[in-house]
Structure 1
């Protein structure tokens, strides 16, 4: 994803699956995110970052559950990028030692829905969602 200076202030939404056995641990570590990881996000011009959890429903409309029991649900992340060079800022984040260690922990709790994804440090891990509506009243 390339965001140029004219897109400063752009909101980004991403999703990823959370493994069924990881919900409580994921919540626990995110209640105490490492200060160095948060500082790196700030240096990367990321603000207003939140992650929401959408549980997998106990039923599916077509009745199929193949593979569904392996996930707790979806993690939905939203944030605003307020810098001038998204790609460079993301390279800086990906080069931060503490962030790489954090991703090593959190990636094990997730299943990417990006085709061919192997981990946060190797390229797209979270799936980027297209914005279809916004109201700023």
Structure 2
């Protein structure tokens, strides 16, 4: 059974151009780690008036927590997060960065979904 996830975080205004530039060419190792963790259809949207980044993805595996831990253990992903975390501000009190005990991105509740005809 698949799961859809939506997360938000604040983008520091001074980092907007750099954030978009780095995401125009995401490192292949980072994408491979996501793929190994059964993550598909991943996108990040930017809403400048609130400096908001909105990420959505579909998880198609059977062990979400385990697969997310594998992503966090990936060395290339850890290096990526060292770059991107500095461009962001978490909404979660006590968050210190991606891959730590306290989540960096905030998961938001889905309140509506229309699948339409497949």
Q: Shorter-chain TM-score category?
A: over 0.9
Find 2:84's aligned residue among 81, 102, 106.
Answer: 106
The structure, 1 or 2, with the larger RCO (C-alpha pairs under 8 Å, 6+ apart) is 1
| CA root-mean-square deviation | 0.8
Structure 1 residues 78-117: Cα deviation after superposition (integer angstroms, max 9, x where no partner): 0000000001101110100000000000000000001211
**TM-score, normalization: structure 2?**
0.95
User: What's the counterpart of residue 47 of structure 1?
Assistant: 40
User: What's the counterpart of residue 93 of structure 1?
Assistant: 71
1:29 aligns with 2:22: yes
Return the alpha-carbon distance in structure 1 between the equivalents of residues 65 and 49 of structure 2. Answer: 32
Find 2:4's aligned residue among 4, 11, 15.
Answer: 11
Unaligned runs of 5+ in 2: none
Moved over 2 A (4+): none
